[in-house]
Chains A and B, each alone.
Chain A
Amino acid sequence: MNLLLLNIIILIYLLATLYLGYRGWKSTKDSEGYLVAGRKTHPYIMAMSYGATFISTSAIVGFGGNAGLFGMGLLWLTFLNIFVGIFIAFILYGKRTRKIGHNLNAMTFPELLGKRFDSRFIQYFSGIVIFLGMPLYASVVLIGAARFMETTLAIDFDVALLVYSVIIAAYVIWGGLRGVMYTDAMQGTIMFVGMVFLLFMTYSHLSGIVPAHQALTDMANLVPAKLAALGHAGWTAMPVLGSTWWWTLVSTIVLGVGIGVLAMPQLVVRFMTVKSNRELNRGVLIGGIFILMMTGVAFTVGALSNVYFMQKLGNISINVAAGNADSIIPIYINAATPEWFVYLFMLTLLAAAMSTSSSQFHTQGSAIGRDIYETLTHKKGGKSILVTRMGIIAAMIIAVTLGYILPENIIARGTAIFFGLCAAAFLPMYTSALYWKRATKAGAIAGLITGTAVTVFWYLFIHKAEAVPLGICKMLFGRDVLIASMPWPVVDPILVALPMAILATVIVSLMTKGPRDKHLAECFRGVK
């Protein structure tokens, strides 16, 4: 490994990033520019930015590593990523979000919801949920980036974490959403190139598509007894129906993340950055291909890494990675690909992480500045951008701190938790905001609170993977989880919280007086 060459490549990349951040800063003169990039974004920039924000190192390293462990069943998540995350999201959600957001002059996701339901509470409460819930997701993205820098550049994990965060701070704080989206588009392009190469290299290494899959299928008898007991049935088979692994795969990974994407604040806001639905139509094409090449490739390659390691080292991936799924992809890349590709992939991952992190920090900052500070103090204008910038710094400090203390194997789970929380808290309210005129302010609030409260309760007291390490249930009730009988300890909160939030939204809406016609007319002006 030529560290000098790698450092030069990264330096050039960082200079390009900072230049684009500077371009964003130069063309931003008001809060509309800072928060929704002036609403005139090019469809390529919008779609690549959406895709690059959506797909982080967490999706590539964390979930790719999970595919090394679970196998190709994770492709169900790719399917949802494309069909729900792009097709449904852009066409059914994006178009109305853009129009209603424009009608109401909304510049953040909570602001859109708050103004649509004529409720300041919805805006600042949603802002609080985002500001408190997102740090976990933000820090697992940081961990993913820092882990790869640690493995590849042979630098200390803690140093990697710190350097990375400072660079992002520089362009997010000054460049606003324009800076974020310009850099996203460049980073997305790098990611695309990197993943295309990775796919071709892996298949050609393993003698083609069908032989590679066949070799993996033939390894089913090599599943360790410990994993088989949890339901692992091979890397090209779904886990045993109803087993612990099946529930984790289906409820947490596939449903939680697959559906949660619809209500991710940092993605929704992108629909408000384009000037017409035509840009969204074009974005569907770009986004669909992009996502297939991201998670589709990561999960296929992650699973196939087992074949590679078995042929070369006589062992399966998770054993090669010493039990830490997060390390599978980095180790595979370093072992299986030529040196020049390690550089390209390093850049790919750095780009993937930066594009996601930058939006996370921008969203958390705007939650503090626009949704919480402005709503509670009634002060609009210049000061709220200052508060937003301070919010971005605070969000970074929290994420870095969490990055130092979170345990291993956390990347995929941390992502899933935030996606699940967003789905339960926001999705019923967001869907009715766009499609159900009878939904009332009280109904929306009921859904928001129910979704948030049930999700938090479930993580603290029912879902074993979080309840045990957090230890609050043990402290209060003397046992790890409240319901020990299967499948409850492995059922993801989304399966309970989302239906309850939907019910709460519908029932309370029907029990309360419908919204004023005048307000609805303003919200839905021009909506077809």
Chain B
Amino acid sequence: MLGIDDPWIWGVYLLCIFSTLLCLVYGLVNWNKEGEQEALEEKEEEAWEESEEEMQQKELGM
């Protein structure tokens, strides 16, 4: 197969290609999924940034 006699080698040659296809299909199917947490996390993020700024002001007088 593919000019290679050892099935462990031509097998893995194909396996590399198939696993890439798996990544490709997964990415395409889920391209727009799981973006919904953003809003909540953004709020948390803002609160965190505020507290970080406060801390820096306190510590460094910036």
Task: List the interface of chain A (C-beta within 8 A of B).
Answer: 30-32, 39, 71-73, 75-76, 78-79, 82-83, 86-87, 91, 95, 99, 102, 105, 209-217, 234, 236-238, 275-278, 280-289, 291-292, 296, 379-382, 526
Do B31 and A102 touch (CB < 8 A)?
Answer: no
Which residues on the A side are within 8 Å of B8 (C-beta)?
73, 237-238
Most chain B CB within 10 A, of A30, A72, A91, is at A72
The smallest C-beta distance from B34 to any residue of chain A, in angstroms, reads 4
**How would residues 35 to 48 of chain B score, 1 for a CB under 8 Å from any chain A CB and 0 otherwise?**
11110111011001
The smallest C-beta distance from B36 to any residue of chain A, in angstroms, reads 8
Known: A82-B16, A238-B8, A278-B35. A102 touches B27 (CB 8 A): no
Q: Of B3, B19, B38, B52, which contacts A82 at CB under 8 A?
A: B19
Which residues on the B side are within 8 Å of A211 (C-beta)?
3
Which residues on the B side are within 8 Å of A526 (C-beta)?
37, 40-41
Please report the C-alpha to C-alpha distance between residue A285 and residue B37 in the assembled complex, in whole angstroms: 21
Which residues on the B side are within 8 Å of A277 (C-beta)?
33-35, 37
Known: A102-B41, A217-B3, A276-B35. A288 touches B22 (CB 8 A): yes
Do A30 and B23 touch (CB < 8 A)?
Answer: no
Chain B interface main SS type: helix
Q: Which residues of B1-56 have CB atoms within 8 Å of chain A's CB atoms? A: 2-6, 8-9, 12-13, 15-17, 19-20, 22-24, 26-28, 30-38, 40-42, 44-45, 48-49, 52-53, 55-56
Question: Other CB < 8 Å A-B pairs besides A31-B52, A75-B16, 11 of them?
Answer: A79-B15, A79-B19, A83-B19, A215-B3, A216-B3, A217-B5, A236-B6, A238-B6, A276-B41, A288-B23, A381-B60
Please report the C-alpha to C-alpha distance between residue A411 and residue B4 in the assembled complex, in whole angstroms: 28
Which residues on the B side are within 8 Å of A289 (C-beta)?
20, 23-24
The smallest C-beta distance from A361 to any residue of chain B, in angstroms, reads 25
Which residues on the B side are within 8 Å of A288 (C-beta)?
19-20, 22-24, 27
Please report the C-alpha to C-alpha distance between residue A223 and residue B62 in the assembled complex, in whole angstroms: 68
Most chain A CB within 10 A, of B20, B37, B62, is at B20
Give 5 nearest A-B pairs by CB, closest first: A285-B27, A288-B23, A213-B3, A214-B3, A278-B35
Known: A292-B16, A526-B37. A237 touches B9 (CB 8 A): yes
A-B contact pairs, 28 of them (CB 8 A): A30-B53, A31-B52, A72-B13, A73-B8, A73-B9, A75-B9, A83-B19, A91-B26, A102-B45, A210-B3, A216-B3, A234-B6, A238-B6, A277-B37, A278-B31, A281-B31, A285-B27, A286-B27, A288-B22, A288-B23, A288-B27, A292-B17, A296-B16, A379-B59, A380-B55, A381-B55, A381-B56, A526-B40
Q: Which residue of B lies closest to A211 (CB)?
A: B3
Do B13 and A102 touch (CB < 8 A)?
Answer: no
Most chain A CB within 10 A, of B5, B36, B40, is at B5
Please report the C-alpha to C-alpha distance between residue A86 and residue B9 in the assembled complex, in whole angstroms: 21
Please report the C-alpha to C-alpha distance between residue A382 and residue B53 in the assembled complex, in whole angstroms: 11
The smallest C-beta distance from B21 to any residue of chain A, in angstroms, reads 8
Do B56 and A212 touch (CB < 8 A)?
Answer: no
Which residues on the A side are within 8 Å of B22 (C-beta)?
83, 87, 288
Which residues on the A side are within 8 Å of B38 (C-beta)?
275-276
Do B35 and A72 touch (CB < 8 A)?
Answer: no
Q: Which residue of B lies closest to A234 (CB)?
A: B6
